[in-house]
Copies of this chain bind each other. A is one copy, B any other.
């Protein structure tokens, strides 16, 4: 029995699952959670989708999103917790991260190179471009009918986590899975307009303000921007509008590492790391207590922004220089 068949067997035994993604949910996490919930219901099972954080506005079009419960874990007679896209249980967030220790079957499906694996059943494939790809394969294996609603959820998961098929995680099979989803009827242009062309005015003003803070290391290989609480207040933008801004630092000629320092409501700084070709930003972020992927990672640091900035930039410059030697 393949590892994915073990997961399929475990899913078939579910009566009522609590399905969760990670804190500050993204397209892959939400698309995968909702697709799996729709399938469980289709199979006559109960499924509750929940997480500590609210759903970003751009994902409100996802089929089944109205069932998503933001906040503390909703009460329920769950027999199984399905954790998607969470390399460590902490990523489930407050109220959820301790659930794997309870009297529950835990199914952990992820595509991060996990350092602290957990769960009764685990399926970790770091080669998968998105958890949405794994769910697609799981549904094929389970021989369930993929409805248009499920296809939209999985398409969204894959298109967002591959950066519109631009990241190196994108494989021939990524494109073949997406071909199948479009055949089921996914309206490609409409979904992409909803994802990328329904930005708020404040979002563009925040981008303008952030670009004004663009700074470069002497070597030109590291570029960074800062988003402060003042900038968020002045532009009327929300914290979720910082999403994607870091890419404008990385996408400059000669830049290997792009950084965004985002001041959170509690005064901490969230630092996003993006690299282009050589630097392992997962390691870089891990040094500061965070993590993620080879080319996209993040961490949170408390303290004085001037010191944090110097420290993180220095580490990034060294990582970029070291990689070039």
B-contacting residues of A (Cβ < 8 Å)?
A: 159, 163-168, 170-176, 178-180, 182-183, 187-190, 192-193, 196-201, 203-205, 207-209, 211-212, 214, 216, 248, 250-253, 276-277, 295
Contacts and interface: CB of A to CB of B under 8 A. Distances in A.
Nearest to A254: B198
A164 B170 CA distance: 12
Given A166-B189, A172-B182, A211 B200 contact: no
18 contacts: A163-B192, A164-B165, A165-B188, A166-B188, A166-B189, A166-B196, A170-B182, A173-B179, A175-B179, A197-B250, A197-B251, A198-B253, A199-B253, A200-B253, A201-B214, A205-B212, A207-B248, A208-B208
B190 A183 contact: no
Contact of A175 (B182, B189, B208): B182
Nearest to A196: B251
Most chain B beta-carbon contacts within 10 A, residue among A197, A200, A251: A197
B172 A179 contact: yes
Contact of A166 (B192, B204, B250, B277): B192
| Count of this chain's copies in the oligomeric assembly | 2
A189 B165 contact: no
B276 A201 contact: no
A166 to B, nearest CB: 4
Most chain B beta-carbon contacts within 10 A, residue among A175, A178, A214, A277: A175
A183 B192 CA distance: 26
Nearest to A200: B253
Contacts of A179: 172-176, 179
Given A172-B180, A211-B204, A190 B277 contact: yes
B205 A208 contact: no
Given A167-B189, A179-B172, A204 B200 contact: no
A170 B182 CA distance: 9
Nearest to A258: B197
Contacts of A250: 197
Contacts of A211: 204-205, 207-208, 211
Contacts of A201: 214, 216, 252-253
A295 B166 CA distance: 23
Contacts of A192: 163, 166-167
Given A175-B182, A179-B173, A253-B198, A189 B168 contact: yes
A193 B277 contact: yes
